[in-house]
Structure 1
Amino acid sequence: MEDSIEATVSGPAPRHPLAYRDYRLFWVVRFAGVIATMSIVVVLGWQVYDIARSDYGMSRSAAAFQLGILGFVQFVPLLLLTPVSGLIADRFDRRRVAAIAIGVDMLVATGLGLATYYEALSLPLLFLFAALHGVARIFFGPAMSSLAPNLVPAPVIPRAIAVNSLAWQFASILGPAVGGLLYAVFPSLPYIVAVGLMALSVLLVSLIRPVRRPDVDRKAHPWRQIREGFSFVWKDRFLLGAISLDLFAVLLGGVTALLPVFARDILEVGPVGLGWMRAAPGIGAGLVALWLAVKPLEKNVGVKMLIAVGVYGLATAAFGFSRELILSLCVLIVLGAADMISVFVRTSLIQLNTPDAMRGRVSSISGLAISASNELGELQSGIAAALLGATGAVVFGGAGAILVTVIWAFWFPELKNARTFAPVYRE
């Protein structure tokens, strides 16, 4: 069957990604899926911390450590299955892989909704559902990330990434806020809405027309192909630097894991306030993504990425000192804006410097780094909070992210020397 780009283009190719039918479907899938996921994440974090404090009678530090465990149980399946998920994205129909992954997440949301409705929640049960949620994300991420470049021509990819980020960031604004509000109305409601949005996502992703599969040797041994993906990233200092920068900066500077502590016991704003704090970074990121969709970065992209990561660390440390909700929200908006610039540059560089036959595996490795920085960052935050308190953990993490940025600027000069998004690899 014809490639979806070729089937929708006659004459000069449109310059905007939303001019392509299949990309529009892809965009809605991302938007609906992220709203569902973020609603689940914010409620799940609140339930773990609240149950630890109320039902188990844990201290603030001990309950904060449970949030670290929540991140760890999601990371373990990611660590074990991510290499396999990348290979599957390269060898099988990426649309079907994404649809199956969303279906698994629907089962997770259904189970959480029922357990919440019948007041049958416990920490082990929440951790089990969190791990299954992690499994679904393992296969969904590489499949969708590697599918996107197949839906638009190469010159449109940076703008497509920015528009894709709009879906992600606006959904990241709505998801936590909606999740917190719905939970305040009826605790099971966020999960019910998430199931409906995921069902819509399955339908829409199945409507995307088949794309030309990458030229992958399907007779080669799977483990050899997995090693090829890791070897490709390891030998390319450009890709290695971009991926590892995000890994270590967010690993140290992650603040989201401890937001339930600030919402419940420091700022005392409850689940609704937690929802707004989870949404605040998305507001900053969404505004930047909107700007990038109209006017993408084109020059000195590497230096701008490094500066953005440094600002991210500074904003993280500032949040730790804040004791007013409005100030905290403003700092989180700046944090999200800086993170969006970093994500846009890094994602564009990775996608445009990776051959299509490798995109699934490289996307899975990048996804593993992101997940490691997020989930292991939650574990690090939980341990640091148990030792230093929530404020000390956040400030320490922000300072660490700034230090990592400085080190990476000298350790990987390829990053600061990246002037444009022009591919540097040779197929």
Structure 2
Amino acid sequence: MHGARVSAPLRGNPPFRRYLLAGLISSAGTAMATGAVAFAVLRLGHGASGVAMVALGQTGATVLMLPVGGTLADRFSRVRVIVVAQLVIGSLVALQACLVAAERAQVAQLALIAAAVSVARAFSSPARFGLVGDLVPAEQAPEANSLAKLAQTGVDVFGPAVGGVVVAAAGPSVGIGVNALSFVLSALLMRGVRAPPARARGRTFRSDVREGWRVVSRTPWIAWKVLGSAVVVSCWQVSYAIAGLTYVQQRLGGPAAWGVVASCLGIGTVAGAVLALVWTPRRAGQAGGAALLPLALPGLCMGCGAPLPLIAGTVVFAAMGLTVAAVTWRSLVQQKIPESQQGRVAAWVQLGETGLAPLAFLLVDPAVGRLGLQGALLLCAGGLAAAAVAPLAHPDVRRLRLAPRPSQG
């Protein structure tokens, strides 16, 4: 009975199955390209500051465009928004691969392309948030969300390791090129997904944008969680994708070693998705904060000079907690926010979570110069631990509950 409930969204639902397959293909390409752009930057002779510049381009563009993307997701066909965004991303990533292959890439060029890719992602991400609810009945939403997360990250177990070997043997351009192709194939599959038509648009675009902001800013449990997550996301991106990647590249073996670490991120994400598929935490506020605490462990281990196997193990644990927290948060928003507002709320929340990241990226170079690479990693670990539990100071966060699934009622 339990297995039948878990797989219910897949039975007799071709659009949802096609949605899952499209996400699986684009995730596979992205997984194989994990770190490829960063290693291209490092091969140009730039260190952590060069990687941070590319990351700054990505995050800065996302921050600017998310409110627009969220409003579009609530006003237009979510399938069409995703298809167009996937095709644009595929074209931009292909250009990135060509520049790297021709050895004509500069850090500024890679940063600009990364920013353009992030603009397209800012349109597709809120649409994806709401599309699952368009494709399955409301009572199947928890299982559908977990299955979507599982499909998205399942290939992360082996993809980064394979990609690390490919990048080490054939160069970053090959890994980036595979990623470009995956987005095109994913867009072609998404074109066949049948979902409800575009929503009625009786108000102005600007008023819809403002309404999304009002919901987020005037709902205390959302505002407090976003404030804590802003620090968590910034510290995690610096400690894992910038300082951590540079540490592994310089001291633990380069792209192949990073492939192992990134694969461990995939293993932990899959494990977390499986756990979220079969278990719903009733005390969602406390569970979300506790699940984020392990994110501090990889930076702590690297800051203390731990060996690669221990670092890889902590990445598994961190990714598992991050996935449980993410699925719990998605379920809270879907249960407590009207469906017609979910795209905008998801966009404003993501904007708040990533809003501090550009500043954090700018501080990478002076922090590493003053504290050293390992000192900067330890600082991020401390910030992560504090920010994960800080929202629990507000009673509305502590009182958050998720509705039980039928088998738990």
Task: Please report the TM-score for the alignment, with normalisation by the length of structure 1.
Answer: 0.86
CA shift in 2, pair 1:252/1:107, >3 Å: same
Give 1:339 deviation, angstroms.
1.1
The one-letter amino acid paired with 2:398 is K
The one-letter amino acid paired with 1:34 is S
Give 1:373 deviation, angstroms.
6.1
Q: Does 1:109 align with 2:93?
A: yes
What residue number does 1:406 align with? 389
Is the 8 Å Cα contact of residues 229 and 388 (structure 2) preserved in structure 1?
no
What is the alpha-carbon distance in structure 1 between the residues aligned to residue 78 and residue 52 of structure 2? 32
The one-letter amino acid paired with 2:99 is A
Give 1:369 deviation, angstroms.
3.3
The one-letter amino acid paired with 1:125 is Q
Q: Give % identity.
A: 23
What is the alpha-carbon distance in structure 1 between the residues aligned to residue 69 and residue 105 of structure 2? 30
Residue number among 5, 11, 16 corresponding to 2:8 in the alignment? 16
Give 1:406 deviation, angstroms.
3.2
What is the alpha-carbon distance in structure 1 between the residues aligned to residue 6 and residue 308 of structure 2? 44
CA shift in 2, pair 1:383/1:173, >3 Å: farther
Give 1:280 deviation, angstroms.
1.5
Give 1:380 deviation, angstroms.
4.6
What residue number does 2:43 align with? 50
What residue number does 2:211 align with? 228
The one-letter amino acid paired with 2:143 is R
Give 1:15 deviation, angstroms.
6.4
What is the alpha-carbon distance in structure 1 between the residues aligned to residue 139 and residue 225 of structure 2? 21
What residue number does 2:348 align with? 365
Is the 8 Å Cα contact of residues 265 and 316 (structure 2) preserved in structure 1?
yes
| Other structure's SS at 1:210 match | coil
Residue number among 237, 254, 258 corresponding to 2:243 in the alignment? 258
Residue number among 71, 83, 90 corresponding to 2:67 in the alignment? 83
What residue number does 1:273 align with? 257
Is the 8 Å Cα contact of residues 301 and 310 (structure 2) preserved in structure 1?
no
Per-residue CA distance 1:97-129 (angstroms, 9 max, x = gap): 101111111111211221122211221221122
CA shift in 2, pair 1:155/1:329, >3 Å: same
What residue number does 1:297 align with? 280
Residue number among 22, 33, 47 corresponding to 1:29 in the alignment? 22
CA shift in 2, pair 1:272/1:149, >3 Å: same
CA shift in 2, pair 1:282/1:193, >3 Å: same
CA shift in 2, pair 1:374/1:346, >3 Å: farther
The one-letter amino acid paired with 2:141 is I
What residue number does 1:391 align with? 374
Per-residue CA distance 1:299-326 (angstroms, 9 max, x = gap): 2222111111123224432343243111
Q: Does 1:71 align with 2:64?
A: no
What residue number does 2:127 align with? 143
Q: Does 1:342 align with 2:325?
A: yes
Is the 8 Å Cα contact of residues 81 and 127 (structure 2) preserved in structure 1?
yes
Give 1:198 deviation, angstroms.
1.4
The one-letter amino acid paired with 2:334 is Q
| Other structure's SS at 1:121 match | coil
Unaligned runs of 5+ in 2: none
What is the alpha-carbon distance in structure 2 between the residues aligned to residue 89 and residue 236 of structure 1? 21
Equivalent residues, number: 398
* Shift >6 Å, 4+ stretches: 12-15
| Other structure's SS at 1:52 match | coil
What is the alpha-carbon distance in structure 2 between the residues aligned to residue 90 and residue 136 of structure 1? 16
CA shift in 2, pair 1:322/1:13, >3 Å: closer
What is the alpha-carbon distance in structure 2 between the residues aligned to residue 33 and residue 399 of structure 1? 34
| Superposed CA RMSD | 2.4
What is the alpha-carbon distance in structure 2 between the residues aligned to residue 159 and residue 13 of structure 1? 8
Unaligned runs of 5+ in 1: 1-11, 54-62
What residue number does 2:268 align with? 284
Per-residue CA distance 1:199-242 (angstroms, 9 max, x = gap): 2211111111031444x5x2422111101100011111122233
* Structure 1, 113-122 or 243-252: larger mean CA deviation: 243-252
CA shift in 2, pair 1:288/1:371, >3 Å: same
* Structure 1, 225-234 or 120-129: larger mean CA deviation: 120-129
The one-letter amino acid paired with 1:77 is A
Is the 8 Å Cα contact of residues 259 and 278 (structure 1) preserved in structure 2?
no
The one-letter amino acid paired with 1:105 is I
The one-letter amino acid paired with 1:18 is L
Give 1:395 deviation, angstroms.
1.2
What is the alpha-carbon distance in structure 2 between the residues aligned to residue 154 and residue 298 of structure 1? 19
